[in-house]
Structure 1
Amino acid sequence: MLKIRLLLLLMMLGFTIVNAQPLVKVTGLITDQLKNPLPKVTISIMGQNISTVSDDNGVYNIYAVTTSFTIKYNLLGYNPVLLEIKRDKEGRIVQNVSLTSNINELEQVTITTKQNQLSNSTIINITDIASMPTVSGNFEVILKTLPGVSTNNELSSQYSVRGGNFDENLIYVNDIEINRPVLIRNGQQEGLSFINSDLLSSAKFSAGGFESRYGDKLSSVLDVRYDKPDSSQAILNFGMLGASFSSKILNKSSYLLTGLRYKNNSSILTRQDNKGSYAPNFTDAQVIYHQTISSRLSLNFLGSFNSGIFKLIPESRETQFGTSSTLLRLQTDYEGKEVDDYQTAGGAITMAYFPQPNLVIKWISSYFSTLERERIDIEGRYIFNEINNDFADRNFGAVKASRGIGGYMNYARNNLESQHFSSEVKVDQNYNSHTFSLGMRFERKDYNDNLNEYSLVDSAGYILQERLGNFYQDNLINIQNKLAIQYYTGYIQDSYGVSPNSDLQLGLRVNYNTLSRQLLLSPRLLLAYRPPSNTKIFRFSAGVYQQAPDYRSIRDFNGVLNLDQKAQRSYNSSVGLDYAFDGLGTRLKFTSELYFKYQDRLIPYMMDNVRIKYLSGDVAEGYTYGTDLSIGGEFVKDLLSYFRVSIMKANQHIIEDATGYLRRPTDQRVNFSVYFQDRLLNSPAYKVHLNLLYGSRLPLGTPLIQRYSDDFNIPSYKRVDIGFSKDFLDDKGIKKPRLLDKYFSSFSAHLEVFNLLNIDNTVSYLWLKDVDNVQYAIPNYLTGRQLNLKLIIKFKNSNR
């Protein structure tokens, strides 16, 4: 059972600070080989999520919450230093450290210094990913526990940030921008996201106010890296929902990372209301090869192949919904099938040149090709009844009244081929207290889109192709589009110290594209202040963010392209506070941020499950404001837990519509999440991982309305997943199995319970009319309660 500590932590959401004294304070001076002070050295207590940086005089102070621990000292271009501290009692330690330079390792990292100190980003604890219980198995699930991020679909890797939509998020892997498929419309069809968690070395996420070095999107940036491993390693992960294998091979002047993944979530999908034969198969292969050519030059290659096929032969569906006074039931029989598939393949080459220890020049070129196809031919015949829900009546559950019979048909033969090529140069240089960054990029996107689809609903009980005009037509598209867009972008920024406690970053992005033919200028500013106490950081950011039109946003409901569309534009500002303090026997970190965004040019859209349908011919203005709060720490040694709450309002007004301001489709007013980890009292090798999500209701427009509306709502999203794990080779175990210890460095078993409370969450609606011409929204529910078992095995390095 969980410790009583969990109850105390939930009460702590009022952010009442409990004072406690640290056990050990470590202070000292950090110098180089010539005894010169080294500023901005990162000092961290390993396993305790506690870190700080040395000041401009090389002096540091850090607190440990145990008397035995290991300190790590790390700085770009220097060999890291690990010091083991063992004390018999609490107190103060003076520990001076000298770091030695390592020019040969400079190609493994990017010049950071002021950039990282100023970054308005959250460092993601990637060690949590393997243990976090999740249906999708994708890396993005951890983002949904971060402040400012909203979601209402556990099957999808997509997420919205501070009122933005899925298309407004940037994703980078090793400085390479990643694009997602266009056609995929349901979470159950998405498969594996691009990011392979087993290959990650670091990840950071910004919910807004990101710097000029990142691209031209309105909402967020996810920046992940596959870098040099500490040692050679192999990891095997397999369970009821799929399997993965990754290997890391480290040589003297090179390293090779490979990852293979397979996913099949048919056992999850068969628990939904739609019964039938599900065959969702998704595979992914990635390889990263790095070669150090000399102390000043290195090459890096990233190759990827991602494939997915989703087959469904539906048989029947039964959905009950309604109120306490009126219970309705929809029963459907199906004919036909759905087959969707996609393949993405490509790669990138990065050449890094280090003419000086404080200067790095990168040339990055990438090419990716994607083929997406939808084959849908499904016909459904339904009976719509009102059910007797009087428990006192012996006819409870019987049909009380017939609301109608009818049928509907979904048909699609859609094909989309897209190619994406880019080439860019990035330069970073440290000079005294400045870090200069600049870059230039060329990008070309080609699309060949063939659309042929329609959806029909007939409440009279028959469907005739020659009389389509008598039906409600959700979709009727038959069109072919070919489009090529070229983008030319550049940026420049400077990060420097205004004073010993203040840093300022100024940047400018320039963008031009051959579609809208606009020259877009986006200035950005970030100011950070760290008081001498070194426990707080105050941040202020302001900037202009402009998102150039792309194929997704210019394609209307009917497939017609609006080639006159202009870039979307948002004016963003935020103020934030990071505060570290001691409480509940650990070091806690509290973060808060207030933000306001005014958008004078937006492309309105509507949501169909996780597919965005743009009103490409309309233009809207809007505003978004809110606050994000989070608090976290190691309430149990080596296990990080955190709580967050986000409150937001996002409205928009279509300029030529007299309706006024309405809620945006992603206007989820309240988001709350908890990720809590604990150990069992009597068996500390057993761990508990609890993931709780709540998102308030989302606005939705009803069909047959020829304009944007928000007159309906999807109910609030409530989700609790829990996992139990045991590493049989955990140091806290009483005895390690001798056979396992011989071949493996870790051997952990995981039991997961998805949707612990078995809550019926709604993702979308099927709209039907009864005999009285009253329209009903029949909910499409997400996944129910489900068990999952998996093993994660890390093999020992035979060379060690």
Structure 2
Amino acid sequence: MKRNYLLVLLTSLFSFLSVAQSAVIRGVILDEASNPINAVNIKANTGEGTASNENGFYELRIASDIEVTIVFSHVSYKKLQVKFNLKNGQELEFNPVLKTNVEQIATVVINTNTRQSVDGVTSISPEMIRTIKGAQPGVENILKTLPGVNISNELSTQYSVRGGNFDENLVYVNEIEVYRPFLIRSGNQEGLSFVNTDMVQNVDFSAGGFQAKYGDKLSSVLDITYRTPVAFGIRTDLSLLGGSITGEGISKDGKFSGLASVRYRDNSLILNNLETQGNVEPVFADVQTYLTYRFSDKFHLNFLGNISLNQYNFEPENRQTNFGTLQDPVALLVVYDGREQDEYQTYFGAFKANYFANEKLTLKLIGSAYHTLEQEYFDILAQYRLGEVNTNIGDENLGDVEFSEGIGSQLTHARNDLDAFIVNIEHRGDYDIDNESNLEWSVKYTHEDIRDRVVEWEVIDSAGFSIRPPSLSQPNPQPYEPFSGPLTAFENIRALNKVKIDRLQAFGQYSKRTTWGNNDVFYNIGVRAHNWTVSGEGIESTTQTVFSPRAQFSIKPNWEKDMLFRVAGGMYYQPPFYRELRDSSGIVQPNVKAQKSFHIVLGNEYSFNIWDRPFKLVTEAYYKGLTDVNPYTLENVRIRYRARNNATAYAYGLDMRINGEFVPGTESWFSFGYLKTEENIDNRGFISRPTDQRLKFGILFQDYVPNMPDLKMYLNLVYNTGVPGGSPSYADPYDFQIRLRDYRRADLGISYVLVTPEKSYNAKWKQPFKQLSIGFEIYNMFNNQNSITNTWVRDVYSKRQFAIPNFLTPRVFNVRLSARL
């Protein structure tokens, strides 16, 4: 029924499409004393017109992709004439100042990016996101080049920020919080990012010190805004890894508009090149839509919907991993039997009602529901042997394993099922006190109903001996007496949880722009409150409350150099989500407290020109002091918490990024990050956290051939120093602080643009297209062997454990075709 309903919805959407193309200009008209001017006549040479209201505000829809001349006129002021050439769907803020003397002022454009500068938010161009692809395309592919952001698995959309883990990041789409699946343990299984890049209008990212209006997480905020269409259009993207098609349009009366997109992805091209050989079927698909209906100028209703179906079937056959040194090379050979079958189905729907009471007051009501059905089933027998490798150059058996040092087997089993249903209802308000001051508030209720069955066990055999878990203290009297203890699985987790969590959240914040002497000043103060109750079958109901005050202050000195200084900080709490309540044995612990962090961020932005082109250098230093920390272990992209607030931690570092037009007409950036984060568990002393990545370098570079500007290139390069590689099951993390090898990756893309909106074409086959390009991509161009985890193999003979790296994707070639109608 859900699929039939969605089909009807999509059919209705496209039946209302029209062919009008337009853009929007809006702003406020002021006099020389910064007072708003009422009844300014605004007229475009294409016929459109409007007038400013009593507060000086105006909004004008004009034709796109052509040069439009707009005249601002008033009987008491000098006429102003400005020319615009905006793209389809573009929205521009233009705030003119009308003078009473005979001189006409020059064109003044105030870009909305100014707001992000004072707020400490990084804005990323949606066109760049759609252009720069990767093994896991999307917003996350761009985030990994930013300082402070760590993505060490190119098949994963999960990322850590400034020492935090994957669960500490907020993601919003049109002010609606979105969720990720729960059971994922490997990036191979993960599928598509929720964020559909073909539907994106704005991308804002904050790596810390964010405002109270954002939720209760410790690390970062990714704030996405989807486009509201102004004309009919179709985008399509096809490659060897899958494809997408997105349609958009608006009804003739302008009241109804909508976006709808279908995406499909098959990662077989990448996964079939991994060291573990076998039959793999990773298929991911989703349907997403964003609809808007304008009942009147005061009342708009939006709907955001998503259905995602992900299947991952894997039958491993064999694997050989060479490691060790040139003098002492060792190989791990594994033969597999069994299979893994994973499936994730998520359904998400949200309504958002906007009521524009007047020019100052906006009221919103948001209701959303998220339902995920997940299963993780596998039975895999891995029979392995460690061996010495033949290193005799010229020998016909060069590289073969000649002598086995250790043999063994490992049987892993899982029957994990999860059914989670999350409902939210929220009221938000926004009141512009005056042109310089703003007040925002919200009250939100969330109900989480989670049913979870965990059945996992692992049996390890080495040279015919069953390995018992180190956590068991029963002595083994062999060889003097026979051992009579029971056979015990090395790891055995069995739990059935039915949990309900009710949350009540609220925030209020005040922002103001003003002057301090000749300096421009911005400040924001706010506070959040979060109350939650954990209950369920066999669980004693527990209620807790936290308050989170936050503040920001920015100053732009009246200097010859364009400088902005910023400081932000506050108390940040992260009330536990379900995964944080479940301990390593699978049992829910309702008394887990919210992790607490004190943030302080000092920032500087320096804007300057080189080669007559604009550049910006952004520098931020930060410190986070954490208490009531819930320790965890990290296996690939799966986090398993201890469900105890028995640790303290800290993180500090320095992030730098310079961006601008290194090549005229294109944006590129270079970033650097330094981070140190450690934790102290049970007062045993500080050790590195699983996300302790010390150095980070990122480059996003775009270029084109000067004599052939339609031939374009991008380079996406990341270098991260290694993070701690984890430890064997049941092991003490204090005994295992070995780091993984450094992560080095370079993705290259080359494309040729056949059709652009700026040109007209005589060839009939080109005329239907607004944009058309073809290209190819090289992922992991230098074929670096990056690793995400270690496989721990025990050798009975030498009594040693070998940390054998699990390598990520090798070099892969891809072909891509992109078009827009």
Identify the match of residue 697 of structure 1 among 717, 722, 725. 722
Q: Which residue of 2 aligns with 1:482?
A: 498
- d(CA) in 1 for partners of 2:379, 2:352: 44
Q: Which residue of 2 aligns with 1:428?
A: 430
The DSSP-based 3-state class of the residue aligned with 1:356 is: coil
The DSSP-based 3-state class of the residue aligned with 1:698 is: coil
On the 8 A contact 2:711/2:753 being kept in 1, the answer is: yes
Q: Which residue of 1 aligns with 2:780?
A: 755
Q: How far apart are 1:636 and its partner, in Å?
A: 2.4
On the 8 A contact 2:754/2:772 being kept in 1, the answer is: yes
The DSSP-based 3-state class of the residue aligned with 2:307 is: strand
Identify the match of residue 449 of structure 1 among 429, 443, 452. 452
Change (3 A) 1:581 1:77: closer
Q: How far apart are 1:682 and its partner, in Å?
A: 3.2
**More deviation in 723-732 or 701-710?**
701-710
Q: How far apart are 1:714 and its partner, in Å?
A: 1.2
On the 8 A contact 1:585/1:635 being kept in 2, the answer is: no
**More deviation in 581-590 or 176-185?**
581-590
Q: How far apart are 1:399 and its partner, in Å?
A: 3.4
On the 8 A contact 1:388/1:400 being kept in 2, the answer is: yes
Q: Which residue of 2 aligns with 1:535?
A: 562
Asked if 1:726 is matched to 2:752, the reply is: yes
Q: Which residue of 2 aligns with 1:677?
A: 702
The DSSP-based 3-state class of the residue aligned with 1:617 is: coil
Within a 5 Å distance, the mapping from 1:701-716 to structure 2 comes to 701-703=726-728, 706-709=731-734, 710-716=736-742
Q: Which residue of 2 aligns with 1:768?
A: 793
On the 8 A contact 1:282/1:309 being kept in 2, the answer is: yes
Within a 5 Å distance, the mapping from 1:783-794 to structure 2 comes to 783-794=809-820
Change (3 A) 1:513 1:409: same
Change (3 A) 1:464 1:385: closer
Change (3 A) 1:725 1:592: same
**More deviation in 555-564 or 29-38?**
29-38
- d(CA) in 1 for partners of 2:426, 2:562: 39
On the 8 A contact 1:687/1:725 being kept in 2, the answer is: yes
Asked if 1:266 is matched to 2:268, the reply is: yes
**More deviation in 498-507 or 264-273?**
498-507
- d(CA) in 2 for partners of 1:367, 1:344: 11
Within a 5 Å distance, the mapping from 1:69-468 to structure 2 comes to 94-96=105-107, 118-251=118-251, 252-391=254-393, 396-432=398-434, 433-461=436-464
Q: How far apart are 1:459 and its partner, in Å?
A: 1.3
Q: Which residue of 1 aligns with 2:76?
A: none
- TM-score, normalised with respect to structure 2: 0.83
On the 8 A contact 2:635/2:726 being kept in 1, the answer is: no
The DSSP-based 3-state class of the residue aligned with 2:315 is: strand
Q: How far apart are 1:542 and its partner, in Å?
A: 1.2
The DSSP-based 3-state class of the residue aligned with 2:810 is: coil
Write the letter of the residue equivalent to 1:447: I
Change (3 A) 1:38 1:719: farther
- d(CA) in 1 for partners of 2:57, 2:614: 24
Within a 5 Å distance, the mapping from 1:504-653 to structure 2 comes to 504-515=523-534, 517-533=543-559, 535-653=562-680
On the 8 A contact 2:230/2:249 being kept in 1, the answer is: no
**More deviation in 461-470 or 414-423?**
461-470
Change (3 A) 1:345 1:319: same
- d(CA) in 1 for partners of 2:467, 2:658: 59
On the 8 A contact 2:788/2:808 being kept in 1, the answer is: yes
- d(CA) in 1 for partners of 2:786, 2:310: 25
- d(CA) in 2 for partners of 1:696, 1:77: 41
Q: Which residue of 1 aligns with 2:24?
A: none
Change (3 A) 1:39 1:648: farther
On the 8 A contact 2:602/2:620 being kept in 1, the answer is: yes
The DSSP-based 3-state class of the residue aligned with 1:198 is: helix
| Identity %, equivalent residues | 34
- d(CA) in 1 for partners of 2:155, 2:285: 16
Unpaired stretches in structure 2, ≥5 consecutive residues: 1-30, 41-53, 66-81, 97-102, 469-482, 535-541
Q: How far apart are 1:569 and its partner, in Å?
A: 0.3
Change (3 A) 1:393 1:583: same
On the 8 A contact 1:729/1:740 being kept in 2, the answer is: no
Change (3 A) 1:96 1:670: closer
Change (3 A) 1:757 1:589: same
On the 8 A contact 1:684/1:732 being kept in 2, the answer is: no
Change (3 A) 1:206 1:39: farther
Q: How far apart are 1:585 and its partner, in Å?
A: 4.1
On the 8 A contact 1:133/1:754 being kept in 2, the answer is: no
On the 8 A contact 1:113/1:435 being kept in 2, the answer is: no
Change (3 A) 1:467 1:131: farther
Q: Which residue of 2 aligns with 1:56?
A: none
Write the letter of the residue equivalent to 1:643: F
- d(CA) in 2 for partners of 1:268, 1:97: 49
The DSSP-based 3-state class of the residue aligned with 1:724 is: strand
On the 8 A contact 1:201/1:229 being kept in 2, the answer is: no
- d(CA) in 1 for partners of 2:366, 2:671: 37
Residues 27-68 of structure 1 show CA distances to partners (whole Å, capped at 9, x for unaligned) of x97975557997999xxxx99xxxxxxxxxxxxxxxxxxxx9
- d(CA) in 2 for partners of 1:328, 1:446: 49
Change (3 A) 1:594 1:788: same
Write the letter of the residue equivalent to 2:408: G
The DSSP-based 3-state class of the residue aligned with 1:739 is: coil
Q: How far apart are 1:129 and its partner, in Å?
A: 1.6
- CA RMSD, 1 decimal: 3.1
Q: How far apart are 1:453 and its partner, in Å?
A: 1.1
The DSSP-based 3-state class of the residue aligned with 1:128 is: helix
- d(CA) in 1 for partners of 2:564, 2:199: 31
- d(CA) in 1 for partners of 2:514, 2:37: 24
Write the letter of the residue equivalent to 1:527: F
Residues 684-719 of structure 1 show CA distances to partners (whole Å, capped at 9, x for unaligned) of 210011000011110133225543334211111000
Q: Which residue of 1 aligns with 2:68?
A: none
Change (3 A) 1:593 1:130: same
Q: How far apart are 1:147 and its partner, in Å?
A: 2.0
- d(CA) in 1 for partners of 2:83, 2:150: 37
- d(CA) in 2 for partners of 1:78, 1:236: 26
- d(CA) in 2 for partners of 1:728, 1:558: 57
- d(CA) in 2 for partners of 1:335, 1:139: 37
Residues 512-569 of structure 1 show CA distances to partners (whole Å, capped at 9, x for unaligned) of 1013522211110100111234822111101110000121111112101222111100
- d(CA) in 1 for partners of 2:315, 2:791: 19
On the 8 A contact 1:646/1:672 being kept in 2, the answer is: yes
Residues 372-427 of structure 1 show CA distances to partners (whole Å, capped at 9, x for unaligned) of 10110111212210113243777643435321111111111110000000101000
Write the letter of the residue equivalent to 2:702: Q
Change (3 A) 1:584 1:174: same
**More deviation in 603-612 or 705-714?**
705-714
Change (3 A) 1:468 1:479: farther
On the 8 A contact 1:729/1:737 being kept in 2, the answer is: no
Residues 58-106 of structure 1 show CA distances to partners (whole Å, capped at 9, x for unaligned) of xxxxxxxxxx996889xx9998699xxxxxxxxx99525799xxxxxxx
Change (3 A) 1:394 1:317: closer
- d(CA) in 2 for partners of 1:449, 1:711: 32
